[in-house]
Amino acid sequence: MLRVTKLTDYATLVLTALARSPTRVLSANELAEQARLELPTVSKVLKPLAHAGLVESFRGSNGGYRLARDPASISVIEIVEAIEGRVGVTECSGDHSHCELESHCSVRGKWRDINAVVADALRGVTLAEMLPRRSIPLQLAGT
């Protein structure tokens, strides 16, 4: 079965919580409450999301997190790749395969085509589109 990990699913929940109020800085505790996740899980997904440039972190007594960009400019593939790395439906569909059958595999080309379709589908959906209709935010100021 082809599926994203729970952490990617949780990261999407955290990002949609941030996307509901894209200019507000929310603490990890507030995000955990809004996403209905445990605080350690939220903390675990925030690190790679910040590293990927999807969220900004702020220190101090009023610190927390907010989206780094408008939700409409963050694609689902960016979320997946922030948590899981490059999308690859098979070992050989990525750029750096470690498959010993690669040199004589007759189906590698088709797997690469399938991988491209999956990546394009993920690229074609934004964080804003992941929000329920009633909670789609206004664009960030200045964007």
| 56 vs 134 pLDDT, higher one | 56
pLDDT of residue 95: 62
Q: Which fold has domain 6-85+127-135?
A: Arc Repressor Mutant, subunit A (1.10.10)
Mark 92-101 as b/e (b = at least 16 C-beta within 10 Å): bbbeebeeee
Q: For residue range 72-117, what is the model confidence (pLDDT) as tens digits?
A: 999 999 999 999 998 888 777 666 666 777 677 777 778 888 999 9
On the question of pLDDT at 139 being above 70, the answer is no
On the question of pLDDT at 141 being above 90, the answer is no
| 37 vs 139 pLDDT, higher one | 37
The answer to whether 42 and 55 have CB atoms below 8 angstroms apart is no
Helices (H) and strands (E) in the chain, counts: 6, 2
State the Cα–Cα distance between residues 140 and 67, nearest whole angstrom. 9
Q: For residue range 4-63, what is the model confidence (pLDDT) as tens digits?
A: 899 999 999 999 999 998 889 999 999 999 999 999 999 999 999 999 999 999 998 889
pLDDT of residue 134: 63
